[in-house]
Amino acid sequence: MSKKGYFITFEGADGCGKTTQSRLVQEYLDNKGYHTVWTREPGSYGLGQKIRELLLHYDGDVAPMCETFLFLADRAQHIENFVKPAVLSGKVVICDRHTDSTIAYQGYGRGEDIQQLEYLNNLATGLTKPDLTFVFDVSTEVAQKRVGDEKDRMESAGIEFHKKVREGYLKIAQKFPNRVKVVDANNDIETVFADTVKILDDFLSNQ
């Protein structure tokens, strides 16, 4: 079996179930003998955790570009200090949210310029790109029910915002069909996982 490292990202609107699926995928790959690490944006470790705290729990006004740059600052640190070294050492990095979140949330959701955000994403990542991205697509109504009443700053942005985020993800998938694969996440966990594994196995067998 190839022990080359991969960078796999998990994306979707709040409440889509991607964190559960990413953990299941990690277990699946571990059982196949891959060396995996699970991580997330914003903020898995060190400085990133401090940025996460600001982004999700700061209760004053946050200017849109300030929000964007905080996500990007976290990403730059995460890619350089964690993702790149892990992939280079042959690990499979399973990452809960990455560049497509910025395009979907700050771009399609908040209405910032998509091309500019793509440029800024490239600057933050030094052009390191995911090898495979899952977008878990779920109706906004189902997603909001799953999120429940205890919402963080981003989750509290309202149903219209989250509808735009969902549409944004579908547009991203249309634009990058080789990298980005959409999974219907309205179904139960087992069905969604079976669909995810089909895509994953297909990806691995083509490496």
Binding site for ligand TYD (CB under 6 A): 14, 19, 40-42, 56, 71, 96-97, 101-102, 105-106, 152, 154-155
The nearer residue to ligand TYD, 32 or 145, going by C-beta atoms, is 145
Beta bridge partners of 7: 93
70/200 with CB nearer ligand TYD: 70
User: Sign of torsion, CA 25 28 32 33?
Assistant: positive
User: Which residue's CB is nearer to ligand TYD, number 19 or number 128?
Assistant: 19
Give the closest residue to 190 by CA, choosing from 16, 21, 75: 21
At its nearest, how many Å lie between ligand TYD and the CB of residue 35? 24
Got the DSSP string for 168-190?
HHHHHHHH-TTTEEEEETTS-HH
Q: Which helix (H) or strand (E) holds 121?
A: helix 114-125
Minimum distance, C-beta of residue 178 to ligand TYD, in the bound complex (Å): 22
Beta carbon of residue 32, minimum distance to ligand TYD (angstroms, whole number): 25
CB of 109 to ligand TYD, least distance (A): 7
Q: What does the block give as tokens for 138?
A: 């779920």
